[in-house]
Amino acid sequence: MAEYKRVNVEQKEENKTNHSLVGATFIKYAAYLVIFFGIIWFLISYILPMFN
């Protein structure tokens, strides 16, 4: 008869977070927000008063 061995396999979940990627993504979206609000500010400050 064949012998069967019980083998306990431990499975670990590793959360791999690349902090440089997170920082780069934050900087990218922060730059998008600065550009967006800069365009809005330009429209309100210079373009809107031309129509008064």
The three-point CA angle 18-23-26 to 5° equals: 130
**How many distinct helices (H) and strands (E) make up the chain?**
1, 0
Residue 46 lies in a domain: yes
Q: Which residues form the domain of 45? A: 21-51
Residue 12 lies in a domain: no
Q: What is the pLDDT of residue 44?
A: 94
Check pLDDT > 80 for residue 49: yes
Check pLDDT > 90 for residue 52: no
Residue 38 lies in a domain: yes
Give the pLDDT confidence of 1-45 residue by residue, as tens digits: 567 778 777 877 777 777 889 999 999 999 999 999 999 999 999
Q: Does pTM surpass 0.75? A: no
Residue 42 lies in a domain: yes
* Total number of domains constituting the chain: 1
Residue 2 lies in a domain: no
- The C-alpha R_g of the chain, in whole angstroms, comes to 28
Residue 10 lies in a domain: no
Q: What is the pLDDT of residue 2?
A: 67
Residue 31 lies in a domain: yes
Q: How many residues does the chain have?
A: 52
